[in-house]
Amino acid sequence: MYENQKKSRIGLWIALAVLLSALGYGTGMTLRAYRDVEIVELEGRSRISMSVYHTSESRGSVLSATEIYERIAPACVSIRTELTSTNVFGQVSTSPVTGTGFLTDPSGYIFTNYHVIEDALTNGLPFTVTLYDGRSYPGTVIGGDERSDVALVKIEAENLPYCELGDFGEVSVGQKVYAVGNPLGELSWTMTQGIVSAMDREISISSSVSIIMFQIDAAINSGNSGGPVVNDRGQVVGIASAKYKASDVEGLGFAIPTDDARKVIDDVLTYGYVRGRVMLGISVTAATRYGYEKGVYLTDVSGGSAAEAAGLKRGDVILTIGGTEINSFSDLQSAKRQWEPGDTVPVVFLRNGQTMTVSVTLREDQT
């Protein structure tokens, strides 16, 4: 995969506290679909997603904060994984990893963040889903995508309260929103309120993964990850994912638009990967490490990739792609979002001190 970079796209290499805990985010970027039986069950349906979530058919009426809480809180869940470790003295200790999720269907489907269940997946551990009424169930991961920080979880229960997903296209800066979750893993089913502070923030949640989110000032803390961000009509428009953490900073929270989450889940269940992403087939690091003033240095070019087909080689220094300057891994990731599989883009690069240009026809990333 691409070598990690240290520079954030939005000017601050934001020291994001991913709200699972201080354990942080994984470095792999592999899409996973875990329950083939679910995909087989749902094959042939025109909209596979309709079995795992419900969308609102109208904007609905504006609700009071109390009405929103009464509607949303019963459909929120706590997700808990117990991590066991052994120290150098052979002493065994257990620490909980907690997050939030919300039911999207009465048969037990739950949206959450990928990083909330990542430790359970990585270590092969069970995790527990606790409902608002106190009942607990073992959870199963149906599918997820680390690069989007979205996952779908299932519990075996019926007739459950659930949230309806709203239209993120109707969200605008200044609009009132509410966040429901389990801050600190202890203050369960807490609701906070605020406004949408900004749109289209590219947030680096690790040195190799960045996501387009919207910014809110409703208080969210460790344990809120995966919880719903709700509009004033009680419809979920975002999934709380991260916050800016610093001693002199308040009110900087970030959420994944539900429209993006829906696409991810649809694609994972239907195709096994998220469609529309482009792949160049290169691994890069900052060219300044090799004495260049700008650009990214190609540390590897994958065999059979679009980059190899265009003639790019290890040791080349890419300066621009499609007219966009590329000086970091983050720049590269941002630029790739501008294109679709099948697009042909010019790549300007240095080789042996000479500036050269090739055309690269982009391919779809099916990983």
Point out the residues that are catalytic.
115, 149, 225
Residues in CB range of 305: below 8 A, 6 or more apart: 279, 280, 281, 282, 363
First to last CA, the chain: 12
* CA dist., res. 142 & res. 129, Å (int): 14
E strands of 28-138, at which residues?
A: 32-33, 54-55, 76-86, 92-103, 109-112, 127-130, 136-138
Q: Which amino acid is at 51?
A: S
* CA dist., res. 285 & res. 361, Å (int): 22
8 Å CB contact between 345 and 339? yes
Beta bridge partners of 210: 204
* CA dist., res. 170 & res. 200, Å (int): 14
Residues in CB range of 290: below 8 A, 6 or more apart: 297, 317
Query: What single string gives the DSSP state of each residue in 326-366?
Result: --SHHHHHHHHTT--TT-EEEEEEEETTEEEEEEEE-EE--
E strands of 139-234, at which residues?
A: 140-145, 150-154, 164-165, 176-181, 190-204, 210-216, 228-230
* CA dist., res. 246 & res. 232, Å (int): 29
3-state secondary structure of 118: helix
8 Å CB contact between 262 and 270? no
Q: Which amino acid is at 87?
A: N
